[in-house]
A and B are shown apart, each in its own frame.
Chain A
Amino acid sequence: MKKTLSIALTSLSLASLVLFWPWPAQSQQRRWNTMMTCMACHVDPASGSIHGGFRGLKGLPKSDIDIVCLSCHDGSDPLIPEAAVHDLPPTGTSEFGTWTIHCLDCHSNHYDMLAGDGTGNYNLKMLGQLVLEASSTDDVARIRKPIISDPLGNNGETNNRRRYEDDSLAGWECSSGIYDDSACADDLTSTDDDDVRKLVFYTNIDTDATNWAQATAPYNGACNSCHTRAGNHRRDGTGTQNHKLPTVCTQCHTHPVGWTDRGQ
């Protein structure tokens, strides 16, 4: 009896420690992330219930996924980071024409739970860990599921396993649209527009500008990994590469306003 009580008290103490420990901010964010459940995104808009109301998102247009994300990240709850899509509205005009960087072009929510480089660093802000197949060619959402245990990868290439397990190998699509395309995987530091980019997004993103933009190759910050036409910090090294550095990009360009510089 005494032993049982002791075990129960110990378990209770441990649980209390986990729940109420003053975790550092990064871990708190992680705890909040873990409170997101499947149904936060997968709820069927027309079901009005949980059971039987699941909606698979695979194959939906990425613009529909944006709506799923923004329906919570709308700024109405201070505990949930506010965000807006990085785009130009269809009614707007710019020298670049109409363009949209959808949520899934940068973020990969499924993989976040398994991210981490083994040293306590996490993939911050759910930034994409895996290549999104043909992410900008047909506007269809496909998220690779994390297959950590896959010994050699689906097609037997060693690169596949490496990319599943090494979360520093975040990236964007290959021009071929094939996730396991070795031509992409072997050329992670290429400055071509269509190759996978090895992202750096593990240090303090609020104080270290290199997470966002770098003035020298391989230009693998979160901003210049995508920029091909913007005036500053393009992924191929052209354009103005020292724009405001070392000021962190997000001090002026923030997610709640879609990274624009309006009013800045």
Chain B
Amino acid sequence: MEPSLFTITDQPLEPDSIMRQVVRSEAGAVVLFVGIVRKFTAGKRTLYLEYQAYESMAIKQLQRIGERIAEQWPGTRTAIAHRIGRLELSEAAVVIAVSSPHRRAAYEANEYAIERIKEIVPIWKKEIWDDGSEWVGDQRELTRYPVGSPKEESTCD
């Protein structure tokens, strides 16, 4: 059986194998997005992350994102995998691969996918710091970085 295009797993993600799921002879481009665990968020140093999902519904919502992409960018093929459980720094949390005959559609559809994941897919992230932890409660990171990207603190490390 062909592996599913939309998956939730507690195992390390393999971007290359997810990309291969969407490669086909009609495609001239694949855009591969890999979301990885970042050390600094809003100036706080993350030790590791814990992801939790409402797994059955999350898979359905990922499939819906895939259906919407197929409608909006005809000729594309999409695969999405999201990891749950404990993730260390720089490990991949999400991989999105979109192939299309030409690159523009693949870029656009890939960005649409990650934005929708942050809105409608029931997955939650907990940041664990050396002095505490918190479930991240903002859907689109709009309020976390009011002035741009997170700053590194020179006093750390």
Chains A and B bind each other: no
Give me the interface of B with A, judged by CB distance under 8 Å: none
Q: Which residues of A contact B (CB under 8 A)?
A: none
